[in-house]
Amino acid sequence: MPKKERAIHADATAERLFTSATVLTFIRTIASLVLCLLAVREESLTLLVVGLATYWIGDTLDGEIARWRDCETRTGAVMDMLCDRINCAAFYIGFAWLEPIMAIPVGIYLFEFMVIDFFLSLAFLAWPIRSPNYFYVVDRRIWLWNWSRPGKALNSGLFAVMLLVTGWWWLGVIIAIALLALKCLSLKWLMDLGLPVPEGRIDAAHGQAPA
């Protein structure tokens, strides 16, 4: 199998929790979380932004390392998603704590990112691919709007940058609702596509597939 295809398709023998990429994921997650918690305690927006930057930079680096060292796994992809959400929640809840006027747009965004987007992101597990980064082999339209580089920037960066730069809560509401609508549309596309179900029946009495 060509190297490019090996990178796309999951390999059960390569699955493990600790790789150079996941170690970096854990480090950036803890560092960003600590910075955000300290920011709330010190009531420092600057420190909160440093926590966000730590999350974003670390999230970019762990993905690049996974691909560079060929240690990209489904386990690592799921851990990355979980860590993204705790970092995201720490920043936005801290931001709403420091800037209460932002509570409404933050609430809408967190529902979109931590519920609907999380479900969409986990859907890759229904196909034998390593991460959502390769969902284009399943459905290019869903991948383009959610996990391509421009799609990730739109979904993860635009909202935070606009809130921090403008300070306009109403603009945050508009962007958050637009992102929510995009995720709901992506969810419809996913449901139209259908999630494949492995063949075979689980024995209800013993929790095992029949021989």
Percent helix, percent strand, percent coil in the chain, to nearest 5: 80, 0, 20
Half-sphere CA count of 185, side-chain side, radius 13 A: 12
User: What predicted TM-score, i.e. pTM, was given to this entire model?
Assistant: 0.90
Q: What is the DSSP string of 67-93?
A: HHTT---HHHHHHHHHHHHHHHHHHHH
Average of pLDDT values for 100-129? 97
Any residues with CB less than 8 A from the CB of 83 and at least 6 apart, and which?
A: 25, 26, 28, 29
Residue 30 has pLDDT above 50, yes or no: yes
Confidence grade of residue 6 (pLDDT, cut at 50, 70, 90): low
Question: How does pLDDT run across 142-192, given as a tens digit for each residue?
Answer: 999 999 999 999 888 999 999 999 999 999 999 999 999 999 999 999 999
Q: Which CATH architecture has domain 3-193?
A: Up-down Bundle (1.20)
Confidence grade of residue 200 (pLDDT, cut at 50, 70, 90): low
Average of pLDDT values for 84-92? 97
Which residues sit opposite 208 in a β-bridge? Answer: 203
Residue 207 has pLDDT above 70, yes or no: no
What are the extents of the domains in the chain? 3-193
- Alpha-carbon span 191 to 132, nearest angstrom: 16
